[in-house]
Amino acid sequence: MAKLSKEDKLHIFEEWKLKGKGTTYLSKKYDINIAGISYLIALINKHDISILDKGYTSYTKEFKEEAIKRVLLNGEAAYAVSLDLGLPSKSMLINWIRSYKENGHNVIIKPKGRPTHEKFKKQRTREAEKRKRRTSSPEFKAYCRKRVYKKIECLSSKPFPSFLLVDNRNCDLDRSSDFIEMAILEKPKSRNQKYWRK
């Protein structure tokens, strides 16, 4: 679904009202679902074209709470309440209600803006530590080993090119979980030769 500009919304309303185009036609032309087209037309019919001049609006906690109570306590339809309040989308009120129920019947106002650099840095270090703990766990190493053995089993019947042949003394698998475990695929010519898959 594409985001519509003010001009697109005006064109949709004019095509519907003046040219008599249907919502299905407008839906396909502007790549918007039929319900979104119908809501836009109903919104402009109810509040006039001036409703499109309203830019981004930050709604207060009290405003959201009143709208939610109209739906949940008074039994009004969310579509009708959204139209009455002039919300830009019919799904906005539905999202508020879902969030209200998920948060223990409390209206949550999300903080605005991007997180500070310090918060972002802390979050990245936490994620890196979590990844490091996960990759160093014995379960993860066993999982990797199992996957490698499965690949070796599948590839054992196929011949490997000679450049995959490496010296066993130069490899230390316990240092990093990013390496794929080495394994003998065929009977080696000497004790130090094993196949290595990059």
Rounded percentage of the chain residues whose pLDDT exceeds 90: 2
The residue length of the chain stands at 198
Q: Is the dihedral of CA 20, 24, 25, 28 positive or negative?
A: positive
pTM of the entire structure? Answer: 0.52
Element (H, E) at 166: strand 165-167
Q: Does the structure show a pLDDT above 50 at 109?
A: yes
Kind and range of the H or E run holding 193: strand 193-195
Report the pLDDT value the prediction gives residue 99, as an integer from 0 to 100. 87
Give 168-195 pLDDT, tens digit per residue: 444 444 444 444 444 444 444 555 555 5
* Structure token pair of residue 180: 């794929």
Give residue-wise pLDDT tens across range 54-90.
777 788 888 898 999 999 888 899 989 988 988 888 8
